Amino acid sequence: MFENYSHQGFFDEIFGETGQGRPHYRAVLERLSEMGPEEFARRVALSELTFRNQGITFTVYGDEQGIERTIPFDPVPRIIPALEWDVLESGLIQRVRALNLFLHDIYHQAQILEDGIVPFDLVYSSPHYRREMRGVTLPFNAYTHVVGSDLIRGEKGSYMVLEDNLRVPSGVSYMLANRVAMTRIFPRLFRSYGVRPVSQYPTLLLEQLRSFSPRAISEPTIVVLTPGQFNSPYFEHAFLAQQMGVELVEGRDLLVDDGRVWMRTTGGRKQVDVIYRRLDDDFLDPTVFRSDSNLGVRGLMQVYRAGRVALTNAVGTGVADDKAVYAYVPRMIEYYLKENPILDNVPTWLGWEPEGLEYICKHAEELVIKPVNESGGYGLFIGSQATREEREACLVKVRENPRNYIGQPIISLSRHPSYYFDSQKFEPAHIDLRPYILVGQDVQIVPGGLTRVALKRGSLVVNSSQGGGSKDTWVLHHEERTRMEEQ
Amino acid sequence: MLSRIAENMFWMGRYVERMENTSRLLDVNYHAMLETTAVLEAQWEPLLEITHTQEGYLKHFQSVEAYPVALWLASHEGNPSSVLSSLTFARENARSLRERISTEMWESLNSAYLDLRSRGTLMDEGSLHRFCNSTRDASHLFFGIAEATLPRDQGWYFLKAGRLLERSDNVARLLATFYVTYRSGPNASLILTHHYWTGVLKSVSAFEAYLKEYQGALEAHNIAEFLILSESFPRSVAYSLQSLESCLEHIAEDNPEVEQAVLRELGWLRAQLQYAQNVTEILEGKRINLKGVLESLGEISASIKRTYFAARG
């Protein structure tokens, strides 16, 4: 099944430089060769059908033909040994702690700006800086309650943070669905490996949401606020609401009256305490933000500022995942925690700084150029794959609005074997990792996360909106890891 | 329960029932009329009338003929009440109710939808029967799963209420149309009368149940009595309305603060049917007639909307 598989030129997750399978992958490789290509393909096809019938889909904007697609599921697990995970976990906890201290700081004393660590202008020029949040006190001083940081591994296999998704990260439902699918495809492997469970995520999230309730009552009303069923990750919104046993609401189901938020029910109105909102700040409240939005709730911000309703994530977190502010995260860690960053950033040049702009313009062919406030892989420019005209067009935009762009070296993302139906073979595909981090009174991370796969041959973009797929991620227990290595 | 959710449950029930009714109507009448083409000119207008789609049809087709009518009722894009449109709307509702209904309920509608879509809109007459059968089965499967998996909360009662209202409306409309068209005049031959009324009964799955109850005589008056007043046949108007009342009572119990005009309206309609001297009074009566029944059903639907779905501050 692995004939002609090329493991060279990039860091391969399964095969070391000599072409030998890494120890923690041996059992998977054995099971695959035991199963044989036909049986494997049969099980994969079955899982595809399950996903389609269950409607585990996402919507691709601007695609006229098929509005809903299933996200391609790649059934070879990505395995992370326990010690490797320990480092990632402590690195991520450190990072989100610093980011939350930063957010609290810039909406209060702004000491880090006074001290000249992060420039004033950079923060205040971010469209995601929300003046409305100045001086607002939040439970546990927590802002980014649900975080989905993207981690990548470079040529040598060292992990780096590519971006922090601090607004409304999605994909956690795929993590959960992938796990269920994998236990059906490879029941025996789960028994032999000690894979740490992930299914507790909805329960952890619910507990966390409860802890934010402004009313000290035993059963606070918690809702998931969705833009509606035509929103790309709608399936996920519905899924999470169902798993937590709370109402999935749209803006039109809520109203503000008497200084409180209510939802409309068949029996009259009911007070809402915590809103897990799955829409951006811009759409939350037309009286404060975009006035043309009818997805949100009129007057919501006023109730929120008065502390009579909790929002997850907090309003105004986007300023810290602005890709230009991202460059300063290692400095934030040193400043607030007096620690060295455990996880590295990807080297970043800011269009905002004159030297940065000059570098971006001179080295555009070797860089990925990104708009600072986009997500989902939209607006990416990859220097090595662009024509001269495309490059020029991109640089024109960069020069017009340098604050809006950053440049990063093209990282050779690590690769992992994926199964391709057309060639009926395993071929290498680039991957990243998005762990899901919950921040409340404590920081909690479900072991693993969503491994995204750039299934388009040769592509470096893993986003589902750009033809990416995903695979299950197994974090191993300590004892199992040791046992495996002894074998 | 969220008003929006309640409304979607209600309409999901209506659309799935509508899909089933239209496909049965089409299947039975299409194949029955082919059999009599030698004896008389087939009449396709009633099918358009029952589904309330004459106007739309004439925008897309010049004449009322067998194949276009079948296509129109089965899957034509311009027909919002076609079998395929009903299924599409039902699925859309189900999609917005993903976290409310059981996964199996959603999967049954979703796979029926994907299956039908993949066949395309144009079908040949040979596959019409299979098309109708599969959508009818999809409805049975869907409600069967709901029966077995949905908690008996308001959502269940709204789903059921939608289904029952649609069903009583369908039977009343069917009768209102065919009774006028087929009322056995002096000229109608026995064969034709038999043929007509068999079609009517089969359109609502009532053929066998009717034969048992009336020992075989296909007589317009008896058939109308059976379809309107039977207390044991689950698709009769009276039976559906009785079940509907029980659903609405459950819903009212859960919402004690809400004003209950709808129960009064429904009770009044039921009383008029129940205490009519005989079925002729309902068919041709001055105080209540089938047109009036249809209007009352429309009123009840509007009243459910006002009471439970309308946004209130």
Shortest CA distance from B104: residue in chain A: A54
Classify residue B2 by its DSSP letter: B
**Domain assignment of residue A289, yes or no:** no
DSSP bridge partners of A57 = A70
Give yes or no: residues A326 and A381 share one domain.
no
A381-419 in b/e form (b: 16+ CB < 10 A) is: bbbeebeeeebeebbebbeeebbbbbbbeebbbbbbbbb
**Domain assignment of residue A232, yes or no:** no
Give yes or no: residues B234 and B136 share one domain.
no
Give yes or no: residues A335 and A352 share one domain.
no
Shortest CA distance from B99: residue in chain A: A242
More confident residue, B142 or B287: B142
Question: Measured between CA atoms, how close is B167 to chain A, in angstroms?
Answer: 24
Residues 223-252 of B with CB under 8 A from A: 251
Give yes or no: residues B167 and B204 share one domain.
yes
Give yes or no: residues B165 and B282 share one domain.
yes
Show the domain range for A355: 347-409
Give yes or no: residues A359 and A476 share one domain.
no
Which chain A positions have a beta carbon within 8 Å of B5's beta carbon? 247
Which chain A positions have a beta carbon within 8 Å of B92's beta carbon? 229
- Residue A247, Cβ neighbours under 10 Å: how many? 22
Tell me whether A65 touches chain B (CB under 8 Å): no
d(CA B40, CA A51): 52
Shortest CA distance from A239: residue in chain B: B99
Give yes or no: residues B130 and B163 share one domain.
no
CATH code, A381 = 3.30.1490.270
**Domain assignment of residue A1, yes or no:** no
Q: Exposed (0-12), middle (13-18) or buried (19+): which is B135, by Cβ within 10 Å?
A: buried
Give yes or no: residues A444 and A421 share one domain.
yes
Which chain A positions have a beta carbon within 8 Å of B156's beta carbon? none
- Structure tokens, B283: 């068919």
Tell me whether A84 touches chain B (CB under 8 Å): no
Give yes or no: residues A88 and A193 share one domain.
yes
Give yes or no: residues B40 and B177 share one domain.
no
Which chain A positions have a beta carbon within 8 Å of B100's beta carbon? 242, 248
Q: Span B54-76, mean pLDDT?
A: 91
Which chain B positions have a beta carbon within 8 Å of A265's beta carbon? 1-3
Please count the residues of chain A.
487
If DSSP codes are grouped into helix, strand and coil, which group holds residue A148?
strand
Tell me whether A68 touches chain B (CB under 8 Å): no
Tell me whether A66 touches chain B (CB under 8 Å): no
Q: Looking at the partner chain, which of B1, B96, B111 has a beta carbon nearest the beta carbon of A53?
A: B111
Tell me whether A53 touches chain B (CB under 8 Å): yes
Q: Looking at the partner chain, which of A250, A267, A269 has a beta carbon nearest the beta carbon of B4?
A: A250
Q: Looking at the partner chain, which of B100, B106, B313 has a beta carbon nearest the beta carbon of A255?
A: B313
The residue among A48, A244, A266, A271 with the most chain B CBs within 10 A of its CB, best to mutate, is A266
CB contact under 8 A, B4 and A268: no
Give yes or no: residues A354 and A207 share one domain.
no
Q: Looking at the partner chain, which of B106, B256, B258 has a beta carbon nearest the beta carbon of A55?
A: B106
Give yes or no: residues B295 and B279 share one domain.
yes
Q: Exposed (0-12), middle (13-18) or buried (19+): which is A224, by Cβ within 10 Å?
A: buried
ipTM: 0.71
- Contact call for residues A364 and A400 (beta carbons, < 8 A): no
Residues 100-159 of B with CB under 8 A from A: 100, 103, 106-107, 110-111, 114, 154
Asked which of B129, B150, B171 is the last residue of a domain, the reply is: B150
Tell me whether B313 touches chain A (CB under 8 Å): yes
Shortest CA distance from A228: residue in chain B: B96
Give yes or no: residues A353 and A373 share one domain.
yes
Asked which of B150, B184, B217 is the last residue of a domain, the reply is: B150
Give yes or no: residues B173 and B138 share one domain.
no
**Domain assignment of residue A461, yes or no:** yes
**Domain assignment of residue A455, yes or no:** yes
Q: Looking at the partner chain, which of A54, A238, A253 has a beta carbon nearest the beta carbon of B4?
A: A253
CB contact under 8 A, A229 and B256: no
d(CA A191, CA A82): 17
Give yes or no: residues A50 and A150 share one domain.
yes
Asked which of A362, A380, A409 is the last residue of a domain, the reply is: A409
The residue among B5, B98, B153 with the most chain A CBs within 10 A of its CB, best to mutate, is B98
The runs of H, that is alpha helices, within chain B are 3-35, 45-50, 54-60, 66-75, 83-96, 103-118, 128-149, 154-182, 190-203, 207-214, 220-229, 237-254, 261-274, 279-284, 290-304
Asked which of B150, B168, B188 is the last residue of a domain, the reply is: B150
Q: Looking at the partner chain, which of B3, B154, B254 has a beta carbon nearest the beta carbon of A264?
A: B3
DSSP states along A459-487: -----GGGTEEEE-EEEBPHHHHHHHHH-
Give yes or no: residues A201 and A319 share one domain.
yes
Give yes or no: residues B210 and B99 share one domain.
no
Show the domain range for B206: 157-313
Which chain A positions have a beta carbon within 8 Å of B256's beta carbon? 267
**pLDDT tens-digit readout, B151-194:** 999 999 999 999 999 999 999 999 988 887 766 555 667 777 78
If DSSP codes are grouped into helix, strand and coil, which group holds residue A217?
coil
3-state secondary structure B62-80: CCCCHHHHHHHHHHCCCCC
Give yes or no: residues A170 and A103 share one domain.
yes
Cβ-based contacts under 8 A for chains A and B: 72
- Please say whether the dihedral angle defined by the alpha carbons of residues B70, B72, B73 and B77, taken in this order, is positive or negative: positive
Give yes or no: residues A117 and A168 share one domain.
yes
User: What's the confidence (pLDDT) of residue B119?
Assistant: 76
Give yes or no: residues A352 and A467 share one domain.
no
Shortest CA distance from A242: residue in chain B: B99
Whether the pLDDT of residue B128 is over 50: the answer is: yes
Q: Span B55-65, mean pLDDT?
A: 92
Which chain B positions have a beta carbon within 8 Å of A248's beta carbon? 99-100
**Domain assignment of residue A5, yes or no:** no
**Domain assignment of residue A282, yes or no:** no
CB contact under 8 A, B107 and A55: yes
Q: Exposed (0-12), middle (13-18) or buried (19+): which is B310, by Cβ within 10 Å?
A: exposed
DSSP bridge partners of A58 = A69
Give yes or no: residues B142 and B161 share one domain.
no
> What total number of domains does chain A contain?
2
Q: Looking at the partner chain, which of B1, B92, B107 has a beta carbon nearest the beta carbon of A266?
A: B1
User: What's the confidence (pLDDT) of residue A66?
Assistant: 42
CB contact under 8 A, A53 and B110: yes
- Contact call for residues A472 and A425 (beta carbons, < 8 A): no
Give yes or no: residues B139 and B163 share one domain.
no
Asked which of A365, A383, A409 is the last residue of a domain, the reply is: A409
Please count the residues of chain B.
313
Asked which of A365, A385, A409 is the last residue of a domain, the reply is: A409
> What total number of domains does chain B contain?
2
CB contact under 8 A, B95 and A263: no
Give yes or no: residues B38 and B123 share one domain.
yes
Residues 6+ apart with CB under 8 A from B264: none
Question: Measured between CA atoms, how close is A242 to chain B, in angstroms?
Answer: 4
DSSP bridge partners of A256 = A261
d(CA B147, CA B274): 29
Give yes or no: residues B303 and B180 share one domain.
yes
Taking only the tens of pLDDT, chain A with its 487 residues reads: 787 888 888 999 999 888 888 989 988 899 888 888 888 888 888 777 777 666 666 655 544 444 566 678 888 899 999 999 999 999 999 999 999 999 999 999 999 999 999 999 999 999 999 999 999 999 999 999 999 999 999 888 999 999 999 999 999 999 998 998 888 888 888 888 889 999 999 999 999 999 999 999 999 999 999 998 788 788 899 889 988 989 999 999 999 999 999 999 998 889 999 999 999 999 999 999 988 888 999 999 999 999 999 999 999 999 998 989 999 999 999 999 999 999 999 999 999 899 999 999 999 999 999 998 876 667 888 888 888 999 999 999 999 999 899 999 988 899 999 988 788 888 999 999 999 999 999 999 999 999 999 988 888 888 776 778 899 999 998 654 444 444 4
d(CA A305, CA A237): 25
Q: Comparing C-alpha atoms, which of B304, B306, B313, B307 is closest to residue B10?
A: B304
Shortest CA distance from A251: residue in chain B: B4
> Which phi and psi (to 5°) does residue A273 adopt?
-105, -40
Residues 6+ apart with CB under 8 A from B187: none
Shortest CA distance from A235: residue in chain B: B98
Which chain B positions have a beta carbon within 8 Å of A54's beta carbon? 103, 106-107
**Domain assignment of residue A388, yes or no:** yes
CB contact under 8 A, A228 and B255: no
